[in-house]
Amino acid sequence: MAPAPEKAPAQHPPADGRPVQIFQVSTLYGAATLAASLDAGQFGPRQDARRLLLISRNAEIPETALRMETMTGYERIAGRFDGVLDWNGTIHPYHPAAWAPRPEEAPLWQRVLRTAWDLGSAPVELIVESIQVNPAKALAGAFPESALHVYADGLMSYGPTRNDLAQSIACRIRRVLHLDLVPGLRPLLLSEYGVEPELVPDSAFRAVLAEIAEEAADDPEIVRAAAAEPTALMLGQYLAALDLLTVDEEEELHVRMLRGAAAAGHRSVVFKPHPSAPAGYSTALRAEADRSGVRLTVLDGPLLAETFYERCRPRLVVGCFSTAMFTAAVYYGVPVARVGTAEVLARLTPFENSNRIPLTVVDHLVADLEGGGTPAVPGAAPESLTPLVRAVGYCMRHKSHPGMREETAAYLAAHHADPEVAHHFDTERLGLLGLPGGTGAVGRGSGLQSRLRGLARSRRS
């Protein structure tokens, strides 16, 4: 008689009576942020709660996306948790970005999840990213009595909440945990609901990045890149996937980054493409590198860009508006420069697109490599940044922040004619809001009233 097959080890231990904390992540960078927060004691002593890491793959075709479990450094981070859960597998065949339980189904789905994840009857606390969309909204709906903590792992935390939240969700959010990527700039995210931001300590996050880099010390991709003795790193973002650029335009953007680095004197350059970018993106870069006499190394393994910073210590990081630019500057002291930021900002639609604040921050703080700017570490936010970000944020989501109208009007009255400020705003939108600099009207309500009168005339005719 054949022996019984060995039972696969459980991905999560059975319920033991302790409260449960579920940490939902979709990126290794986000998981690293949570690891730093745990190390800093922001979720209490480890023995006080059972901690489960819930991984979701939110790509358009999740089955073809890079799995977090395959990325260098994942095991170090996962070791901080008592178990790992797979959201995609749990809700299969539904897509994580599209599915959420209907309110009347919430009790049923909570029972399903408690059974599938061996939660028993323990109280559950949810730590999620992007609470305004699924899967975070789905989790909040399935556990309507659970406290919520939101963490933000990038520059979008400085912008307004992109969608309105149901009061039943908003009233349960305890805080917004975020990295201090722009010291002195306060996040707008969830501020309209009275949620306070809380910093993840720099030292804790830097230590987690060092752990990941140590794990990657012998990685063939890193060893190969380090052997080229690079002095500059270029960051790809795959903006074509967000419909911000065409594939050809994004390819040309990367070429422009290379030209800028070469013009600044760099002769060994590394390109870190976005994990979702097609392989062909590096073809045009290689041709340009040959023309420019630059040694190009493509770092396309399952690695965070921060792993490269730790090992190779470049003298320049170039990007469009990637959060990794500020990670390089804040945590490693590497000078940064931008390419193409203003063009993407100019064509970004709709105005409330949540990429607008990251673009605004980078455009305002980071030197333009093609415009002759000197790469630098941005440092603390200058006095000019906060009023600009708040004014842009108000124009993006004015109904959510009515208390910011007067300060926005005052700021625009003083600065709307300044070219360095004007390109951050749409004149038609300013007109609709009755703000200085708007098309055809200046002053409270006048632009909106004019547009409404025009609509009324159209209907009558």
Q: Specify the 3-state DSSP secondary structure of 342.
A: helix
Q: Are 412 and 404 in contact (CB under 8 A)?
A: no
Tell me, what DSSP letter sits at residue 316? E
Give the domain range for residue 411: 392-460
Q: How many CA atoms lie within 13 A of 247 on its CB side?
A: 9
Same domain? For 73 and 201 the reply is: yes
- The angle subtended at Cα 316 by Cα 315 and Cα 322, nearest 5°, is 140
CA 177 – CA 35 distance, rounded (Å)? 12
- CB count, 10 Å around CB of 17? 8
Domains in the chain: how many in total? 3
In a domain, 417, yes or no: yes
- The angle subtended at Cα 53 by Cα 16 and Cα 272, nearest 5°, is 165
Same domain? For 53 and 83 the reply is: yes
CATH assignment at residue 271: 3.40.50.1980
CATH assignment at residue 158: 3.40.50
pTM for this entry: 0.90
Q: Specify the 3-state DSSP secondary structure of 198.
A: strand
CA 343 – CA 351 distance, rounded (Å)? 14
CA 447 – CA 424 distance, rounded (Å)? 19
Residues 6+ apart with CB under 8 A from 402: none
Same domain? For 162 and 299 the reply is: no
Both tokens of 308, joined, read 């490269």
Same domain? For 285 and 242 the reply is: yes
Same domain? For 75 and 162 the reply is: yes
Q: Are 302 and 275 in contact (CB under 8 A)?
A: yes
Domain boundary among 205, 238, 270: 205
Same domain? For 57 and 98 the reply is: yes
Beta bridge mates, 148 = 126, 173
Position 329, amino acid: A
In residues, how long is the chain? 461
In a domain, 383, yes or no: no
Q: Are 189 and 176 in contact (CB under 8 A)?
A: yes
**How confident is the model at residue 219, as a pLDDT?**
87
Both tokens of 382, joined, read 């200058």
Same domain? For 254 and 354 the reply is: yes
**How confident is the model at residue 446, as a pLDDT?**
42
CA 221 – CA 205 distance, rounded (Å)? 23
- The angle subtended at Cα 187 by Cα 316 and Cα 272, nearest 5°, is 30
CA 400 – CA 404 distance, rounded (Å)? 9
CA 65 – CA 47 distance, rounded (Å)? 34
296 φψ region: left (φ > 0), alpha (ψ -120 to 50), beta (else):
beta
Q: Specify the 3-state DSSP secondary structure of 306.
A: helix
Q: Are 150 and 177 in contact (CB under 8 A)?
A: yes
**Gyration radius (Cα) of the chain, Å:** 24
- The tens-digit pLDDT sequence of the chain (461 residues) is 444 333 333 466 666 779 999 999 999 999 999 999 999 999 999 999 999 999 998 877 777 677 899 898 999 999 999 999 999 999 999 999 899 999 999 999 999 999 999 999 999 999 999 999 999 999 999 999 999 999 997 999 999 999 999 999 999 999 999 999 999 999 999 999 999 999 999 999 999 999 999 988 888 889 999 999 999 999 999 898 888 999 899 999 999 999 999 999 999 999 998 866 666 667 889 999 999 999 999 988 888 999 899 888 999 999 999 999 999 999 999 999 999 999 999 999 999 999 999 999 999 999 999 999 999 999 999 999 999 999 999 999 999 999 999 999 999 999 999 999 999 999 999 999 999 999 864 444 444 444 444 444 444 44
